[in-house]
Amino acid sequence: MKRNKLFFLLLTLFSFSAKSQFIINGPAIGGVTPAGARMYLCTEQPQTITVLLSEDGSESNTKSFQAFTTKEKFNTTIVDFSGLKADTKYFYSFLIGEKKDSIHGSFTTFPENGKRGNYTFVTGSCQETENMKVFDVIPKHNPRFMLHTGDFTYPDYQIAPDYSADYAKVAYSYRKRYDEKVMKEMLYSIPIDYVYDDNDYVGGNGGKYNKNDIRSNFKGKVEHKFIIDSFPPSWRRNVIKGYTEFFPGYTMADTTEGIYHSFTLGNAEFFFVDRCSAHEDPLAANFSYNAKKNKWSFAPIDSVKLFGDKQMQWLKSGLKNSTADWKFIVSGAPFNKALRKLIDKGMKIQKIQAKGYNGFHMATGFASYFAGFPKEQEDFLNFIKQENIKDVIVISGDTHHNVMDDGANAGLPEMNASGLSVTGTYLAYFLNLVGNGTMMYQMQDEVWNQGGNGLGNLNFKNAFGRVDIVENNYVTLSLIDEDNEVISSFRVYHSDYAGERK
Ligand SMILES: [Fe+2]
């Protein structure tokens, strides 16, 4: 009996030392192509890491890739996998030094570029609360990957408004992202691509070197003012560098300008745009004040741009030259041109306040989206028209609610999926109340015509977007809540589609 006890004790000790967890953050997989993928991970100490990939999960017949975590990169690394087979599931495991890590998972490479098929992916933005139910639901949909459109945690307040002044804090912000409850395990086997939005960029706002805010005073004379502050260029450089070193992303087009980039999945091409890094002017630049009337007006200036000329040129030529059946623009900021209505109507009711919110909030909030830069937006939409570029769909975030439009209002079909883990998704519902109360606009008819949280329903749950590409026939855009119920769904048919329509 005693001998048996000793044997089991030794066996337990041996198993513990032979197989344990040395990876303390990650893995997270991204940058997937038909022949490769990338993986972020962080170890407790600087280590030599061997990643073993196998097609059947066995320990024989593996491909091995070696990498090193280093002190300079805060014990992180990004491992590049290459020479893989297209559209193939790979199981991975780790050797840290000589020892086996208990973490393992899998990912699937993309089909060959151009290959038509049925492909499902998910999207969403904004996670700041304890409620992580969406991440229980997302894996049930078996997506190829997740497109995260930003506010992937809120380092500007969860760490500090000046977090990006210190590169160690930028590294920490990524450790926090990969440590989100439930999502953390999801990232072991669902690849992700990501673009930061305003709150996971610098100082809580999306300008190149500017922090913007507004202050309103409703005691006595109603007053609104813009608070403009700048930050050092090194803060911006640190977030761009952090993205390239701590996120397993795709090759960037031009990191002096931001983190915009593209990739292809089968017959779809994705263009990720960066609404933060290139926007030079403060929010106030597009507003003017009449002191006599104590009234602000929205007065957009043509030279004030959100995405900037270089990025816009990249996007335009990418769309023009794309041979993909489907072209997705992925952005933190909504593209919907009908949001201009909410800027103009908000200015009309700038002196009316309810529950701490007023028309000036409404107008300035929407003025930081693409509709707040009408010349740049008009020029872009005209380009799409003139060049006869078809089958473009926009995926966006930032707003803290989930809504869609078929393009009749927005200009292009758009899914604004922005409520992965937020305190409330009431925005469209409340805006609709304001629109009805003032008889100025109708949200569902004039802004987001394909529904969403609070539009034709009272579903205010957290949600994500599901996108199904069906060959070169159609794309289904669906908003799915945290209890796996469909909030709203519609199809975008391909311009060449001649079949039956639902
Ligand atoms: Fe957000």
From the CA of 204, how far away is ligand 1's center (Å)?
A: 10
For the chain, the structural domain boundaries read 20-108, 118-493
C-beta contacts of 288-296 below 8 A and 24+ residues apart: 294/221, 294/222, 294/223, 295/350, 296/224, 296/347, 296/350, 296/360
From the CA of 189, how far away is ligand 1's center (Å)?
A: 25
From the CA of 90, how far away is ligand 1's center (Å)?
A: 34
pLDDT in tens, 397-411: 999 999 999 999 999
Kindly report the CATH number that applies to the domain delimited by 118-493.
Answer: 3.60.21.70
From the CA of 85, how far away is ligand 1's center (Å)?
A: 37
pLDDT at 1: 41
pLDDT in tens, 440-468: 999 999 999 999 999 999 999 999 999 99
From the CA of 312, how far away is ligand 1's center (Å)?
A: 24
pLDDT at 140: 98
pLDDT at 431: 95
Residue with tokens 């975008």: 492
From the CA of 279, how far away is ligand 1's center (Å)?
A: 18
Contact 141, 480 (CB under 8 A): yes
pLDDT band at 12 (very low <50, low <70, confident <90, very high): very low
From the CA of 70, how far away is ligand 1's center (Å)?
A: 32
From the CA of 373, how far away is ligand 1's center (Å)?
A: 20
From the CA of 398, how far away is ligand 1's center (Å)?
A: 5
pLDDT at 4: 53
Name the DSSP letter for residue 452.
B
Nearest CA to 264 out of 31, 482, 454, 61 is that of 31
Task: Report the chain's mean pLDDT, rounded to a whole number.
Answer: 93
Mean pLDDT over residues 308-321, rounded?
98
Q: Is the pLDDT of residue 294 over 50?
A: yes
From the CA of 32, how far away is ligand 1's center (Å)?
A: 26
C-alpha torsion sign, points 432, 335, 215, 402: positive
d(CA 112, CA 131): 37
d(CA 255, CA 317): 18
From the CA of 47, how far away is ligand 1's center (Å)?
A: 35
Residue with tokens 């097609």: 55
- The residues, ordered by sequence, that sit 6+ positions from 72 with a Cβ below 8 Å of its Cβ are none
Q: Is the pLDDT of residue 86 over 80?
A: yes
From the CA of 399, how far away is ligand 1's center (Å)?
A: 6
CA distances from 146 to 40, 154, 217, 342 (A): 16, 19, 42, 30
From the CA of 58, how far away is ligand 1's center (Å)?
A: 42
From the CA of 127, how far away is ligand 1's center (Å)?
A: 7
d(CA 76, CA 376): 39
From the CA of 329, how far away is ligand 1's center (Å)?
A: 19
From the CA of 111, how far away is ligand 1's center (Å)?
A: 32
pLDDT at 14: 44
**Of the given ranges (202-206, 472-476, 484-488), which has the lowest mean pLDDT?**
202-206
From the CA of 332, how far away is ligand 1's center (Å)?
A: 9
Q: What is the pTM of this model?
A: 0.94
Helix axes 233-246, 167-177, angle to 10 degrees: 40
Query: How many CA atoms lie less than 13 Å away from 4 in the CB half-sphere?
Result: 1
Q: Is the pLDDT of residue 351 over 80?
A: yes
From the CA of 337, how far away is ligand 1's center (Å)?
A: 20
From the CA of 50, how far away is ligand 1's center (Å)?
A: 37
Mean pLDDT over residues 280-291, rounded?
94
CATH of range 20-108; options 2.40.50.140, 3.30.499.10, 1.10.3080.10, 2.60.40.380: 2.60.40.380
CA distances from 445 to 91, 96, 406, 459, 460 (A): 47, 57, 11, 18, 20
From the CA of 400, how far away is ligand 1's center (Å)?
A: 6
Tell me, yes or no, if the two domains 20-108 and 118-493 fold the same way.
no
pLDDT at 16: 44
Residue with tokens 């002190």: 71
From the CA of 366, how far away is ligand 1's center (Å)?
A: 14
C-alpha torsion sign, points 275, 276, 281, 283: positive
